[in-house]
Structure 1
Amino acid sequence: MIDPQLMGGALLGRLVFRLPEPTAAALPAGRHALTFPEGREAVLVVPEDLDPDVPVPLLVLFHGAGGEANKVLPHFVRWARARRFLLLAPQSMFPTWDIVIGGHGPDLERLDAALLQVASHFRLDPARLAFAGFSDGGSYALSVGLSNGDVASHVIALSAGFMNTFTRNGSPKVFIAHGRSDTQLPFETSARQHALKLLEEGVDLTLLPFEGDHVIVPEVVVRAIEFFLGPQA
């Protein structure tokens, strides 16, 4: 067995990113493309009426296999605008996330770069920085979020298939939602197993089974946002 301590930080799924002070002006409200030397851009949604003197929450949203930002953003954009949080949607370099294909690599590097770009324009709230995703994106959120709980305060996994962590850091709160009738990633062999493992480890876990297949359900999104930000006043 390989000793994780002998592996580099990137191979362990560790982000370099740490919250810096902003160095540039805040971006205006709307949709922005964050570009990289290669690969697909990340999408940043900025809500209106952000107070520059108040640290802003950030939710990072990972799409499913074969997907793109536009397939998951519509489920969350209205909430970003209503609850005034930044919404960042990276896009995988390949059809799905690097950890699913063979290990951490370009997607982790691009996530680091995207987070740094966002933090250069906005003062982020370290107590409200969530990694979220659906399907393979949910697996990615679980894996990277638990490996970087000193960065992510919350992890939201919607219909995730697996979690792959060589090391754990910090103590993020975890929300898992999964359809009881999921035909792609059965509840009993994915969500239930994840929940049992996390509860054994003392993780602050919210498990939400729902009646449905491998889909994003609006009511579940509402619960996920409340888990992240608390009930709406």
Structure 2
Amino acid sequence: MMPPSILGHLNFRFRDPDQPPLPPGTHSLNVLLELPGERDTLLIVPEGLDTTAPVKLLVMFHGAGGSAEKVMPFFKEHAEKNKFLLMIPQSTYITWDLTIGGNGPDLERLDRALDKVNSHFNLDRNHFGFCGFSDGASYSLSIGLSNGETVSHVIALSGGFMNLYVPRGRPLVFIAHSPEDEQLPMDISGLHHYKELKKAGYDIEFMEFHGRHLIHPHVVDKAMKFYLDRSPGRPQS
């Protein structure tokens, strides 16, 4: 039997927090996890977050050659306005390990970071989302659908591949892609994944937009509305 990590399965399980909530601001989870010298996993805690109730968490995966600082501006305002935790991991190498040769240190660090966040916050199981752009979208699709019994929303913005060994659960899925994408053709990536997942019975939305292979604010707006307004078991209005 293969180890769960080879299949993209996380060890993370929801639990009751045993530490006080982190204060508002941007926190380095790697420092809290005592992992010096590694590319930081950042956690944005918005001002005014109500910690007396379960809190929403969105994990955002950057694209190849990217960083937390490059994607943060597109999502931080949404987190602050709508009062959800925003966690931004960074790949160990130039892109996510799954893209290079299989699950490895990135999945292990993600597991530890999620558990660390859960040690400080009671997490909303109906808004525990994975999101990504480009290679990060491929990672979000692959890891999110492999852990769909835990992950509630999977968002893929201009993603390429989808690597599923043993998918679990039925998270809500949002895919956005442009026919003008000069790096990842829509018909063989985003649109193809949409058709395959729709056929498999997933509750899924597809957004076709126009523009180059970039993060587009109006697409992020639509994706965040999907994340905030939809929850498992609630039909689309």
Specify if TM > 0.5: yes
Please give the range of the TM-score, normalised by the shorter of the 2 chains.
Answer: over 0.9
Q: Residue 2 of structure 2 corresponds to which residue in structure 1?
A: 7
For residues 126-178 of structure 1, give each alpha carbon's deviation from its aligned partner in whole angstroms, at most 9, with x where no partner exists: 00010000000000000000000011100000000011010111110000001
Match of 2:12 among 7, 11, 17: 17
Q: Residue 211 of structure 1 corresponds to which residue in structure 2?
A: 210
Find the residue that maps to 1:11 and give its secondary structure.
helix
Alignment of 1:181-200 (within 5 A): 181-200=180-199
AA partner of residue 51 (structure 1): D
Q: Residue 48 of structure 2 corresponds to which residue in structure 1?
A: 49
Distance 1:11 1:52 in 2: 35
Distance 1:137 1:54 in 2: 30
Alignment of 1:127-138 (within 5 A): 127-138=126-137
Q: Residue 224 of structure 1 corresponds to which residue in structure 2?
A: 223
Find the residue that maps to 2:5 and give its secondary structure.
coil
AA partner of residue 131 (structure 1): F
Alignment of 1:65-80 (within 5 A): 65-80=64-79
Cα deviation for residue 39 of structure 1 reads: 2.2
AA partner of residue 24 (structure 1): Q
Distance 1:37 1:15 in 2: 23
AA partner of residue 38 (structure 2): G
Cα deviation for residue 112 of structure 1 reads: 0.2
Find the residue that maps to 2:130 and give its secondary structure.
strand
When the two structures are superposed, what TM-score results if normalisation uses the length of structure 2?
0.93
Distance 1:168 1:32 in 2: 32
AA partner of residue 29 (structure 2): L
Cα deviation for residue 38 of structure 1 reads: 5.3
For residues 159-203 of structure 1, give each alpha carbon's deviation from its aligned partner in whole angstroms, at most 9, with x where no partner exists: 000110101111100000011100000111111110111011001
Find the residue that maps to 1:49 and give its secondary structure.
coil
Q: Residue 3 of structure 1 corresponds to which residue in structure 2?
A: none
Distance 1:169 1:136 in 2: 21
Cα deviation for residue 87 of structure 1 reads: 0.1
Structure 2 stretches of 5 or more lacking a match? 231-237
Q: Residue 30 of structure 1 corresponds to which residue in structure 2?
A: 25
Output the aligned Cα RMSD.
1.0
Find the residue that maps to 2:7 and give its secondary structure.
coil
- Identity, in percent, stands at 52
4+ residue runs over 3 A deviation: none
Distance 1:119 1:47 in 2: 16
Distance 1:104 1:210 in 2: 31
AA partner of residue 197 (structure 1): E
When the two structures are superposed, what TM-score results if normalisation uses the length of structure 1?
0.95
Q: Residue 235 of structure 2 corresponds to which residue in structure 1?
A: none
Find the residue that maps to 2:227 and give its secondary structure.
helix
Structure 1 stretches of 5 or more lacking a match? 1-5
